[in-house]
């Protein structure tokens, strides 16, 4: 376990899913070895006591955590009270004399507010400048320290900005921009979430035994893991190879049936996969329940005790007791509505 200097940190979570952003963040902190304590959660704002270094690493690694900052103070969203709090703030350790700083204020909820956020940012900026006896300068374009103010309903938080997720990277890896594209490919942000839920550590292998076009493999590589893919379909595996090459990721893959995996047993810490269920991706004539059950049985032999497996499957199959609960503990499940007649479940299992 790393040495930690825990502080209150604020995370603005994506509103795209109710439970996945927080689950993803906590899984990354676990994988990266940063202890944390949940302090509160309201709307898309999550407060944790955590080492800011861990908060930064986790946000940069995440698919669904938009931003992170340290919290210097929380106050009612009232200008007089905010400016009074800034006056009494301790900036030591975050800003040095001659540093350039900026202030940005953002609203989490889109509802109308009495604030003009730019005007408030400039008032907070001059209060900070006064609190530091004018020994710092304001620079909004390239600040050494950016102070982020967050308005969440009637709460206000202020502290140094730490990180944002890599929006541009996800955009560049969208499936239509890859050389090989099939409609069943999962969106990069959600592929990233699945990889993160497997608690894979940087430098470790991430196996996807139904790798398809390589969506999960690309995300695993992007966070510094060694991606390993299997697929039963030679044309899809060739396409996956092209996709990885396009993003300069070395291809480690094999043509294989996930029910008879050609790997040394008991060697992996993390698996993330999105098996076919016969609609947009083929099961090659197999029955879905049989295919998932058999592959989970085989994967049991390849995952180390304590290792994690993140699986996506239609909710109706989960209800059929598809998970071998004598070998796996169900850690968490998250439901995603795909369309009117399909709910997909993201399930995280831990090898007993």
Ligand X SMILES: C[S@@+](CC[C@H](N)C(=O)[O-])C[C@H]1O[C@@H](n2cnc3c(N)ncnc32)[C@H](O)[C@@H]1O
Task: Select 192 or 199, whichever has its Cβ closest to ligand X.
Answer: 192
DSSP string, 12-66: EE-TT-SSHHHHHHHHHHHHHT--EEEEEEETTEEEEEE-HHHHHHHHHH-SSEE
Site for ligand X in 244-303 (CB under 6 A): 257-259, 274-276, 281-284, 291
Task: Select 52 or 209, whichever has its Cβ closest to ligand X.
Answer: 209
Exposure string of 141-178, with b = 16+ CB inside 10 Å and e = fewer, is eebebbbbbbbbeebbbbbbbbbebbeeebeebebeeb
Region of 118-126, 212-220, 245-253, 262-270 interacting with ligand X (CB under 6 A): 212-220
Region of 43-51, 132-140, 204-212, 263-271 interacting with ligand X (CB under 6 A): 204-212
State the number of binding residues for ligand X (CB under 6 A). Answer: 25
Residue with tokens 């930690």: 4
Nearest Cα residue to 101 out of 163, 160, 164, 165: 160
Region of 1-9, 54-62, 178-186, 296-304 interacting with ligand X (CB under 6 A): 178-186
Nearest Cα residue to 270 out of 31, 37, 29, 2: 31
Residue with tokens 């004598």: 326
| Residue 229 found at the interface with ligand X (CB under 6 A) | no
| Residue 238 found at the interface with ligand X (CB under 6 A) | no
Cα gap 107→151, rounded to integer Å = 5
Residues 120, 46: contact at Cβ < 8 Å? no
Task: Select 162 or 309, whichever has its Cβ closest to ligand X.
Answer: 309
Task: Give least dist CB 137 to ligand X, A.
Answer: 47
Chosen residue from 102, 215, 253, 307 binding ligand X by CB under 6 A: 215
Task: Select 25 or 236, whichever has its Cβ closest to ligand X.
Answer: 236
Cα gap 113→324, rounded to integer Å = 51
Q: What are the residues facing 305 on neighbouring strands? A: none
**Terminal-residue alpha carbon distance, the chain:** 22
Cα gap 106→167, rounded to integer Å = 17
Task: Select 11 or 210, whichever has its Cβ closest to ligand X.
Answer: 210
Task: Give least dist CB 261 to ligand X, A.
Answer: 9
| Residue 120 found at the interface with ligand X (CB under 6 A) | no
Cα gap 310→312, rounded to integer Å = 7
| Residue 232 found at the interface with ligand X (CB under 6 A) | yes
Residues 207, 311: contact at Cβ < 8 Å? no
Residues 201, 306: contact at Cβ < 8 Å? no
Task: Give least dist CB 304 to ligand X, A.
Answer: 21
Task: Give least dist CB 232 to ligand X, A.
Answer: 4
Task: Select 2 or 284, whichever has its Cβ closest to ligand X.
Answer: 284
Region of 22-30, 91-99, 109-117, 206-214 interacting with ligand X (CB under 6 A): 206-214
| Residue 186 found at the interface with ligand X (CB under 6 A) | yes
Chosen residue from 51, 166, 219, 231 binding ligand X by CB under 6 A: 231
| Residue 184 found at the interface with ligand X (CB under 6 A) | yes
| Residue 310 found at the interface with ligand X (CB under 6 A) | no
* Sites of contact with ligand X (CB under 6 A): 184-186, 209-210, 212-213, 215-216, 230-233, 236, 257-259, 274-276, 281-284, 291
């Amino acid at each position: 376990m790393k040495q930690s200097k825990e502080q209150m940190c604020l995370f603005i979570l994506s509103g795209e899913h109710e439970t996945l952003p927080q689950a993803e963040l906590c899984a990354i902190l676990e994988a990266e070895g940063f202890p944390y304590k949940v302090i509160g959660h309201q709307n898309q704002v999550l407060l944790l006591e955590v080492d800011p270094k861990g908060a930064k690493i986790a946000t940069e690694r995440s698919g669904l955590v938009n931003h992170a900052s340290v919290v210097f103070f929380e106050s009612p969203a009232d200008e007089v009270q905010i400016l009074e709090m800034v006056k009494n703030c301790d900036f030591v350790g975050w800003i040095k004399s001659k540093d350039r700083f900026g202030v940005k204020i953002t609203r989490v909820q889109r509802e109308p507010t009495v604030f003009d956020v730019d005007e408030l940012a400039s008032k907070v900026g001059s209060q900070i400048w006064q609190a530091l006896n004018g020994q710092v300068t304001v620079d909004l374009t390239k600040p050494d320290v950016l102070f982020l103010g967050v308005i969440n309903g009637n709460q206000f938080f202020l502290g140094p900005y730490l990180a944002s997720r890599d929006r541009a990277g996800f955009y560049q890896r969208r499936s239509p921009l890859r050389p090989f594209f099939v409609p069943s490919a999962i969106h990069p942000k959600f592929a990233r979430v699945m990889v993160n839920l497997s608690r894979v550590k940087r430098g470790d292998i991430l196996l996807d035994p139904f790798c398809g076009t390589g969506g999960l493999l690309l995300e695993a590589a992007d966070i510094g893991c060694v991606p390993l893919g299997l697929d039963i379909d030679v044309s899809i595996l060739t396409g996956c190879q092209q996709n990885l090459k396009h993003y300069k990721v070395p291809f480690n893959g094999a043509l294989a049936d996930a029910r008879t995996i050609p790997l040394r047993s008991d060697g992996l810490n993390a698996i993330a996969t999105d098996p076919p269920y016969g609609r947009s991706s083929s099961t090659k004539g197999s029955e879905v329940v049989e295919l998932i059950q058999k592959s989970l049985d085989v994967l049991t032999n390849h995952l180390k005790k304590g290792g994690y497996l993140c699986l996506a499957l239609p909710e109706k199959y989960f209800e059929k007791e598809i998970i071998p609960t004598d070998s796996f503990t169900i850690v968490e499940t998250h439901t995603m509505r795909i369309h009117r007649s399909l709910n997909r479940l993201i399930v995280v299992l831990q090898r007993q």
